[in-house]
Chain A
Amino acid sequence: MELWYNFIDFLLPYSWAKHFFMKNALLAVLLVTPVFGLLGTMIVNNKMAFFADSLGHSALTGIALGVIIGIKSPLWAVLCFAVLFALAVVLVKNAQTASTDTIIGVFSSTAIALGIVILSRQGGFSKYSVYLVGDLLSISPKDIAALGLIFLVVLFIWVKMFNKLLLVSVNQSLAISRGIKVRLYEYSFAVLMALVVTVAIQWVGILIISSLLVLPAAASRNIANNMQQYHLYSVIFALFSGLAGLILSYFWGTATGATIVLILSLCFVLTLAYKLMRN
């Protein structure tokens, strides 16, 4: 970490970069946003934005369960619950009893309601509201290490399974004819999403986590012509908005996560305008 701090002092001799919390947050942004940009492309392709949103909601129940069990850091409770939640949604969806958005809607509202009921038991919900908005500036070097490690694992699995997952999303039967175990990939992707969402939720916030996953890819899609460009632009938008959002939130005194999302929205509007003009 010392090396990183010195490096930033050397590279960015500005007032905002002098604080340790800003240096930590900067490193976190550099780690988190590219992973979000990469995973987002598949989420947009598979029309899973709503699912990502519901995973964020499930985190509230996870936090509540953590409180009941009495774990100080709710991360593990949130993680376990989110993974179970993701698996349950895919399982019920595959039973084909109702349309996908109805099923996700039911799960999502149940999770958030359950979370609110448990956390507001003694009228103390306000102390948990930090999870709704997220607090990137409070991230510690230890948290960053954990974040980095988990994201490395995610990235590794992602590289391994991307092509097969893409073929599954093009046509399931076609993927099966090529020997791909469709269900395995479907569940793995849901679990991977749950993993990424939960480890980031504390810093980004329940309300906007899905925007961070969806918006970079959505903006990139407006201008990309192939898969390589799609991913490249998505990562660039995510990184750029992350950095710009962090710096602006420092000067404006606003919540970092929400500021990042606003800049991403701006990227989306601009790329959409470009696309419409080109057509």
Chain B
Amino acid sequence: MKKNFQQENCRACVSGLCCTKIINLGVIRNRETILRNINLHIHCGELTALIGPNGAGKTTLLKAILGEVPHTGKLEFIDSHMKRTSRSLIGYVPQKLDFDTSSPLTVLDFFGTAHAKLPVWFGHSSQVKKRAQNALAVVQMEHLLNRRLGALSGGELQRVLLAMALDPVPNLLLLDEPVSGIDQSGLLLFYELVSRLRREYDLAIILVSHDLRMIEKYSDRVVFLRDKTIAYSGLPGEVLNNPKVRETLGLDWENALENGSKRGRSC
């Protein structure tokens, strides 16, 4: 009965047939609670924005979903055939690279590490090259194929990482937006792109974001994290106009509205 109910519940999702359920998720590290009581349903074709003050646990939540951080509670993925699994194909766009930017690693090499069987220093097969080109075409960045990863601008790097996360097309896409390093026009392009891909691929997206204006315009749902758990969740207009949310974000919120063009400093 319970299973049927959940499936019915999912069928009634906003646009997609599949969904990801986060049930009572919690993270404890070094005896300290980092996240608790997280309950969230993410539906296909829906962009869910994750906001909250620094240290609220936004990045940790993404890492728990990825399986990098051990957690309590359950994660359930229900695909379009109504099959339930505990593991799903997840695409992830990190906030930054751990890599030394002076390294001679090209964008093609980077794609090669994920798709080639032989080490990338053997050179690249035409298949891998074609696959990388196709992936880059999705984000309109084909011209970056032979550029060094460390020499890309913040916006370019973010798009290359997005291209990588979309190949193969995941069930769930996790985006951790960089706090700085991308100018306003680059940011607008990125949101336009993500918004379009969400519809084209019917993607479920969770986006950690710092730009409230962009969220208001592009997201379907906003989840506000505070004190290690979800404080508010709902439509962008509702959550962003909630006086308590505005109060918690305080100056950040006012700044974000006033200095939308000076992104990076405002967040």
Contacts and interface: CB of A to CB of B under 8 A. Distances in A.
Interface of A: 38, 41, 45, 47, 158-159, 162-164, 166-167, 169-174, 176-178, 182, 221, 224-232
A167 B104 contact: no
Nearest to A232: B121
Contacts of B106: 225-227
B67 A169 contact: no
Interface string B61-95: 01100111000000000000000000000111010
B99 interface: yes
A14 to B, nearest CB: 33
Given A170-B97, A170-B99, A177-B174, A159 B105 contact: no
Among A169, A173, A229, which residue has the most Cβ atoms of chain B within 10 A? Answer: A173
A224 B109 CA distance: 13
B36 interface: no
Contacts of B100: 45, 47
Interface string B138-168: 0000000010110000000000010011000
B189 interface: no
A127 B173 CA distance: 62
A178 B109 CA distance: 16
A228 B123 contact: yes
A174 B104 contact: no
A38 B114 CA distance: 20
Interface in B108-124: 108-110, 112-114, 116, 118-123
A170 B92 contact: no
A162 B114 CA distance: 11
Contact of A159 (B112, B114, B118): B118
Contact of B114 (A47, A178, A228, A231): A178
B127 interface: no
Among B92, B103, B112, B174, which residue has the most Cβ atoms of chain A within 10 A? Answer: B103
A177 B91 contact: yes
Given A170-B99, A173-B66, A163 B92 contact: no
17 contacts: A163-B120, A166-B105, A166-B120, A169-B98, A170-B97, A174-B92, A177-B90, A177-B91, A177-B165, A221-B102, A226-B106, A227-B105, A227-B106, A228-B121, A228-B123, A229-B104, A230-B104
A170 B113 contact: yes
The 9 nearest A-B residue pairs measured at CB: A177-B92, A231-B121, A162-B119, A224-B104, A167-B113, A227-B109, A163-B113, A230-B104, A226-B106
Contacts of A176: 66-68, 92
A39 B258 CA distance: 52
Contact of A226 (B96, B109, B122): B109
Given A158-B119, A174-B92, A228-B121, 20 more contacts: A45-B99, A47-B100, A163-B116, A170-B97, A170-B110, A171-B94, A173-B62, A173-B66, A174-B94, A176-B67, A176-B92, A177-B66, A177-B91, A225-B106, A225-B148, A226-B108, A226-B146, A227-B104, A227-B109, A230-B103
